Amino acid sequence: MSAKSFTTIGHETKDHPIYIEEWEQLAKEKLKKGPFDYVRSGAGDEKTLAANRAAFDKWSIYPRVLRDVTDATTRTKLLNQEISLPLLLAPLGYQGIIHPDAECASARAAEKAGIPFVTSTVSTRSLEEVAEAAPTGKNWFQLYWSNNREVSASMVSRAEAAGYQAIVVTVDTGLLGWRKSDFKNGFAPLKEAMGDANYRNDPAFRKSVPHWTEENIREEILKNILHPNLVWEDLLFLREHTLLPILVKGILHPDDAEKAVDLGLDGIIVSNHGGRQLDGALASIDALPAIAARVNKRVPLLVDSGFRSGSDLYKALALGADAVLIGRPYIYGLAVSGEAGVTSIIKNLQTELDLTLALSGANSINELSTTNLIQTGC
C-alpha cells in the first residue's frame, strides 16, 4: 500500500474514464445498438438487473481506525494459485461483436494483471487461440453443457490440453432468458457466427454434423447448447474426462450449494447470470451470506452479478466470498480501448479495493468478515 494512487492525479488523468458509467456511455457511443444492448440488457423487466446494484446499499462498511495498514495487500490464493487481487474476468461470450481482438485482448489484460480470465464456450476465438494469446495467464474455461455428452467431454479435454487450470460449468442456462432487447433488435450473435469457434474446432461436434453447411452448424449448436434436462448427476460425467478443478456457476440457493459440495465439486459461483436469465430472482449479493454459511469454507466460494467498484468487492469478501467475477465493466473497457481498456478497468478496481481495505483498517482480505460490515438497509 502506498500513496501512489493519490500522487498520479493531475492534468494527464482528467480525461481518462474512471467511473464504470463513463465507460458504459463511451461503449454505447462506439458500438452498434444490437451489440451494446446485448451486453447491457437483462431479462424480462430487468428487475433482477436493477436488484443486483441496489442490494449493495443494504450494507455499509464498518471501519476501524488507528491501525497500521502500511503493508495492506489484496494478494490472495485461489485454487492454490496466488493472484494479485480477488478478481476474475467472467466468461462473456461473443466478444468479437465488441472488439476485433475479442477474448484474446481480455485474456492478455488478465494475464498482465495476474488474475484469471474465464473463456466462454461461445467465445469468438477458440479456446486454443485464447490460451496462445495469454500463455502465462491463469486461464479457466467455462462450459455450456452440450446435449451431446461427447462434445462436453471433448471441450474439457481440449481445455486441459491447452493449459487451462479450471473448468466452470454454467448451470442456469438450460433455457435462455426472456431478453426483450435482443428480440426487439433482432440481434443474435450466434447467428452471425460470433460464438461458434469452439464448436467448429471440436472433433466430437464435427462428427455430429454429417453435412457441414452453415445452416446445419448453427442448428446443431442450438440443439446442443440448450439443455433443460440437465441434472446434478450429469456433472459427475466430467470427472471421467478431466483432472482439473470443476466449479459450478449459477447457484443462488444454499441447498444447491450443499449439493455441489456433497458431489465433490471444487468450487461454487453464486450468480444470477448478471440478471440475464430469471427476472425476479434475488440479487447475488443477497444470496451470498446464506450460501457462505452453508459452505463454511469447504470449497472456494465466488460471486458475480452487479459488481462495479472496489467497495462492492470488499462487501462480497466480507460476506464470505473468496473472489469476485466482473463482466459488463471489462467488456465496456474492451469496447472503448481494447486490451488497454480492460487493463484500465482492472487497475481502477485494484486501486479502489486497495484503498477501501486500508481505510477500513484491514491489512489483508483474509481478515475480512461480517464484523467489517453493518446492515443499514433491508
pLDDT digits (tens, 9 = 90+) for 308-320: 999 999 999 999 9
Is residue 271 annotated as involved in ligand binding? Answer: yes
pLDDT of residue 29: 98
- Residue at 11 is within a domain: no
165-223 pLDDT, tens digit each: 999 999 999 999 999 999 999 999 987 778 999 999 999 999 999 888 888 888 899 88
How far, in Å, CA of 342 to CA of 335, rounded? 9
Q: How confident is the model at residue 246 (pLDDT cuts 50, 70, 90)?
A: very high
Could you give the angle at which helices 284-295 and 254-262 cross, rounded to 10 degrees? 40
The strand ranges marked E within 171-227 are: none
Catalytic-role residue among 16, 99, 253, 273: 273
Say if CB 103 and CB 123 are below 8 A apart: yes
For 81, the domain range is: 20-375
Say if CB 232 and CB 147 are below 8 A apart: no
Is residue 149 annotated as involved in ligand binding? Answer: no
Is residue 273 annotated as involved in ligand binding? Answer: yes
Mean pLDDT for all residues in the chain: 95
Residue-wise DSSP of 243-306? -S-EEEEEE-SHHHHHHHHHTT-SEEEE--GGGTS-TTPPPHHHHHHHHHHHHTTSS-EEEESS
Q: How confident is the model at residue 116 (pLDDT cuts 50, 70, 90)?
A: very high
92-100 mean pLDDT: 97
Q: How confident is the model at residue 237 (pLDDT cuts 50, 70, 90)?
A: very high
The region of weakest confidence among 9-18, 108-117, 129-138 is 9-18
Say if CB 195 and CB 93 are below 8 A apart: yes
How far, in Å, CA of 43 to CA of 52, rounded? 13
Catalytic annotation on 99? no
- Residue at 14 is within a domain: no
Say if CB 295 and CB 303 are below 8 A apart: no
- Residue at 8 is within a domain: no
Residues 6+ apart with CB under 8 A from 222: 190
Is residue 282 annotated as involved in ligand binding? Answer: no
- Residue at 7 is within a domain: no
Q: Which residues of 176-210 are buried (b: 16+ CB within 10 A; e: fewer)?
A: ebebbbbeebebbbbebebbbbbbebbebbbebee
Q: How confident is the model at residue 30 (pLDDT cuts 50, 70, 90)?
A: very high
Residue 163 has pLDDT above 70, yes or no: yes
Residues 6+ apart with CB under 8 A from 240: 153
How far, in Å, CA of 22 to CA of 35, rounded? 18
Cell of 289: 451470506
Question: What is the count of structural domains for the chain?
Answer: 1
Cell of 127: 479456446
How far, in Å, CA of 322 to CA of 324, rounded? 7
- Residue at 10 is within a domain: no
Q: Which residue has the cell 474512471?
A: 18
Is residue 19 annotated as involved in ligand binding? Answer: no
111-120 mean pLDDT: 99
pLDDT of residue 77: 97
42-69 mean pLDDT: 97
How far, in Å, CA of 112 to CA of 56, rounded? 29
Q: How far are the Cα atoms of 59, 124, 292, 318 from residue 364, in angstroms, in the given order?
A: 20, 37, 19, 11
For residue 134, the domain's CATH number is 3.20.20.70
- Residue at 92 is within a domain: yes
Is residue 96 annotated as involved in ligand binding? Answer: no
pTM: 0.96
347-351 mean pLDDT: 96
Residue 326 has pLDDT above 50, yes or no: yes
Going by C-alpha positions, the residue among 334, 286, 297, 320 that lies closest to residue 105 is 334
- Residue at 6 is within a domain: no
Residue type, 326: I
Say if CB 309 and CB 70 are below 8 A apart: no
Residue 228 has pLDDT above 50, yes or no: yes
- Residue at 1 is within a domain: no
